Structure 1
Amino acid sequence: MDPLAGLISGPRATGAFVLRSIMEPPWSLQIDDRAPLSLVAVGRGEAWISPHAGEPIRLTEGDIAVVRGPERYVVADDPARAPRVVINPDQSCTTLHGEPLAESMDLGVRTWGNNPNGRTVLLTGTYTTPGEISRRLLSALPPLIVQRRTDWDSRLVTLLHDEVVRDEPGQEAVLDRLLDLLLIAVLRAWFARPAVETPSWVRAQTDPVVGKAMRILQNNPAQPWTVASLAAETGMSRAALARRFTELVGEPPMTYLAHWRLALAADLLREPDATVAAVAQRVGYGSGFALSAAFKRVRGMSPKEHRELALCGRTSGGVSVEV
């Protein structure tokens, strides 16, 4: 599992949250959902997106914006337009005074807006819990990424707009996969830009030796790895691998493995039926006690406390909207 795959491999709801919005000016949406990551794609017309900090950016047909939360942002037909609709943490939509709008703006399957023939069509996907293993990746992203239609050749946005209005068996799984593909494609294109300062641990993925070592550790965390056994897998000496890994990743191999194991454990503990002992075995700890001690030392809480907090967050608000 590489960092981009890790972004979308954490726990999620059984169905994807994806919404098509059809808007006719004047309109302005204040997004207060507190989501760590959101994706906004323009299917028709244009829109302005105003991040919490920074200048508004104009989006046109085919453009995609990736917004890193949890700060609020605004999407509107005019950057000077005052918000008229608020999207809340439970994904409900209300006026600025809290009056519900979901029923009056309902336009059909996964579709809402103020006019069924509106000039602007938006597609929005929201990741409310992208997973512990993606925190490092999220911290490397700017508050707003914009991928212009003219800068790449991808039919994923068109496919999403075609699929979002379908009401067929398995449709939620289809939307889930398409959203994941679109997000990975956008981030991969962004990291490939010459002007982007790519984090060292992302660049290390492309190194033939260190990248291989990282994938071995990520895909086999339960193995009792040592630097020597890892070096044997990569065909390098122990000292050479340790030096090269530390230079490119920013930390020694076993430190990286320890952090990966705990991040993966944090994800697995979110599953309702997971036990500390079972998770410990899956991530390479000899017992639940050993995992608990390491987890509390690094994260300041026990696995049980982390799990209770995660499950509470998943069920609060009454509506699950994870992608």
Structure 2
Amino acid sequence: MSHDTLSDVLRGVRLRGAVFFNISGNSDWAAEAPSAKELVPMLMRGVDHVIEYHAIAQGSCWAGIPGGPSVQLFAGDVVMFPHGDAHVVSSAPGMRGDGDFSWFPGVEAAGQLPLRVAYNGSNVLLPPATQQSEDADVNIVCGFLGLDLQPFNPLIDALPRLLHLRASEDDAWIAKFTQQAVAESHAQRPGGEAMLARMSEMMFVNAVRRYADHLPAQSAGWLAGLRDRFVGRVLALMHEQPSREWTVDELGRLVGLSRSALHDRFVQLVGVAPMQYLAQWRMQAAARMLLETRATVAAVALDVGYDSEAAFARAFKRVVGKPPGAWRRERDGAAQ
């Protein structure tokens, strides 16, 4: 099957990245980030969800979710928080910071991004009081990835709350990403912001692929389904032609399973029935068209497999709570 389902989902949920911070730490220090729900209005307008990541350029530190998993990080490692949990990056495990980001909108408005922040013990120093030092115990590049959760994003639930990518000779790209991100953010050359954003997106895709490659054999979830020889082909077929009037019988015949066997295998791995998944994905494809094109609601309805605008509007409202036209206007306004 030639269709790249992961790329299709990443396009559908409109992944976009940005790098906002270069952090240095000395002595006993802790930086605490609030949850994604609190960060979205401050960091990335017009998105449903923000994933924060930290790439270690120099030194070592700890990262963890209070009351949840934590991990020690070394130069070249990357850690990300796919579910948007509040978390702490610190010089030792179990530490806490203040989690106050109220100063950020003023810094953003002043055009001071990417921002350099120095933690020296309990003191937090912002420009122009300090600059990141090569003599710091640790230097970190911190970035954010925005994406849509609504109407349907099958990827996020398939990822852990904390995703750790270790520096590896077999995957030197991560270390090169960290080095290049530091160089670009320091140089502040024309086009640097766009380059850092694209690099962040590439790093996330690489992280998802590495995580999927190392899933245990008996795993469940959307990524496990993608990897399965039968369910993966069914997902590819539905993503390649979402407007087609698929049936479970036809999909089973195409991949070599009975209707009941395919249904059970799909539910076991993906968590929903095949036709339910198709209906949800059609809504996500429609949402992308509504936001990225000026196509009429009627045209969007036909493109995702509905014979009438009214039937599509009812289905869309069931999923997102608003008719497609009203939802489009609301999202357009939020992105301004």
Asked if TM exceeds 0.5, the reply is: yes
Mark the CA change 1:122 to 1:173 in structure 2 (over 3 Å): closer, same or farther: same
* CA displacement at 1:245 relative to structure 2: 4.1
247-256 vs 57-66, which moves further: 247-256
Query: What is residue 319 of structure 1 aligned with on the other side?
Result: none
Q: Distance in 2 between matches of 1:105 and 1:44?
A: 26
Aligned amino acid, residue 185 of structure 1: N
Query: What is residue 114 of structure 2 aligned with on the other side?
Result: 110
Q: Which runs of 5 or more residues in structure 1 are unaligned? A: 95-99, 316-323
* Residue 18 (structure 1) aligned with residue 22 (structure 2): no
Mark the CA change 1:200 to 1:243 in structure 2 (over 3 Å): closer, same or farther: same
* CA displacement at 1:308 relative to structure 2: 3.9
Mark the CA change 1:171 to 1:105 in structure 2 (over 3 Å): closer, same or farther: closer
- Counterpart contact for 2:145–2:201, Cα < 8 Å: no
Match of 1:47 among 61, 80, 86: 61
Query: What is residue 167 of structure 2 aligned with on the other side?
Result: 149
Query: What is residue 126 of structure 1 aligned with on the other side?
Result: 144
Query: What is residue 324 of structure 2 aligned with on the other side?
Result: 303
* CA displacement at 1:287 relative to structure 2: 2.7
* CA displacement at 1:294 relative to structure 2: 1.0
Two-structure CA RMSD over aligned residues (Å): 3.6
Query: What is residue 121 of structure 2 aligned with on the other side?
Result: none
Equivalent runs, 1:209-224 vs 2, <5 Å: 209-224=230-245
Q: Distance in 2 between matches of 1:187 and 1:157?
A: 16
Mark the CA change 1:71 to 1:20 in structure 2 (over 3 Å): closer, same or farther: closer
* CA displacement at 1:18 relative to structure 2: 1.2
Q: Distance in 1 between matches of 2:307 and 2:117?
A: 53
Q: Distance in 2 between matches of 1:242 and 1:84?
A: 48
- Counterpart contact for 2:54–2:78, Cα < 8 Å: yes
* CA displacement at 1:221 relative to structure 2: 0.8
21-30 vs 2-11, which moves further: 2-11
Query: What is residue 139 of structure 1 aligned with on the other side?
Result: 157
Partner SS for 1:128: strand
* CA displacement at 1:179 relative to structure 2: 1.9
Mark the CA change 1:268 to 1:127 in structure 2 (over 3 Å): closer, same or farther: farther
- Counterpart contact for 1:8–1:130, Cα < 8 Å: no
Q: Distance in 2 between matches of 1:80 and 1:103?
A: 34
Query: What is residue 72 of structure 1 aligned with on the other side?
Result: 86
122-131 vs 72-81, which moves further: 72-81
- Counterpart contact for 2:225–2:231, Cα < 8 Å: yes
Partner SS for 2:89: strand
Aligned amino acid, residue 219 of structure 1: E
Q: Distance in 2 between matches of 1:124 and 1:60?
A: 15
Mark the CA change 1:200 to 1:68 in structure 2 (over 3 Å): closer, same or farther: closer
* Residue 93 (structure 1) aligned with residue 104 (structure 2): yes
Mark the CA change 1:5 to 1:272 in structure 2 (over 3 Å): closer, same or farther: closer
Deviations 1:134-185 (A, max 9, x none): 6332123332122222585232342353153355565444433322222122
Equivalent runs, 1:150-169 vs 2, <5 Å: 150=168, 153-163=171-181, 164-165=184-185, 167=188
- Counterpart contact for 1:21–1:123, Cα < 8 Å: yes
Mark the CA change 1:85 to 1:258 in structure 2 (over 3 Å): closer, same or farther: closer
Aligned amino acid, residue 265 of structure 1: A
| Identity over aligned pairs, percent | 26
Q: Which runs of 5 or more residues in structure 2 are unaligned? A: 41-48, 119-130
* Residue 267 (structure 1) aligned with residue 288 (structure 2): yes
